[in-house]
Amino acid sequence: DAKTTQPNSMESNEEEPVHLPCNHSTISGTDYIHWYRQLPSQGPEYVIHGLTSNVNNRMASLAIAEDRKSSTLILHRATLRDAAVYYCILRPLTDSWGKLQFGAGTQVVVTP
């Protein structure tokens, strides 16, 4: 299975953008890139996903490198509520309903 690599932690000031990198150099052509986050004492929640093109939703933006070997989750204006562990996950097209394979994720700390 393709793996992802993320920094252990990142810090940001409130109301500033946060760019969370994810490396996935062994990604296959049909792997989707998903991001979930886990707030303290809660289960993970979906953030965004994409295949090749950049994606935007109300929570974040996902920028995918042209060679798809890396991606960046962008939180445009971090709030204290965005302090969480962010997970970058690859999901094969052929296993769209199957398990999510989480790594250790990136702990985002937001300071006022």
Partner 1 sequence: DTGVSQDPRHKITKRGQNVTFRCDPISEHNRLYWYRQTLGQGPEFLTYFQNEAQLEKSRLLSDRFSAERPKGSFSTLEIQRTEQGDSAMYLCASSPPSGGQETQYFGPGTRLLVL
User: Could you list the residues that contact partner 1 (CB under 8 A)?
Assistant: 32, 34, 41-46, 49, 85, 87, 91, 93, 96-105
Least distance (Å) between residue 16 CB and partner 1: 26
E-assigned strands of the chain? Answer: 9-13, 18-23, 31-38, 45-50, 55-56, 61-64, 70-75, 84-92, 106-111
Cβ neighbours of residue 102 closer than 8 Å, sequence gap 6 or more: 36, 44, 87, 89
Least distance (Å) between residue 50 CB and partner 1: 10
With CA atoms as reference, report the closest residue to 103 among 15, 32, 18, 35: 35
Question: What letter would DSSP give residue 5?
Answer: B
Nearer to partner 1, 1 or 14 (CB): 1
With CA atoms as reference, report the closest residue to 27 among 9, 56, 2: 2
Nearer to partner 1, 44 or 74 (CB): 44
Nearer to partner 1, 6 or 15 (CB): 6
Nearer to partner 1, 46 or 65 (CB): 46
Least distance (Å) between residue 97 CB and partner 1: 6
Least distance (Å) between residue 104 CB and partner 1: 6
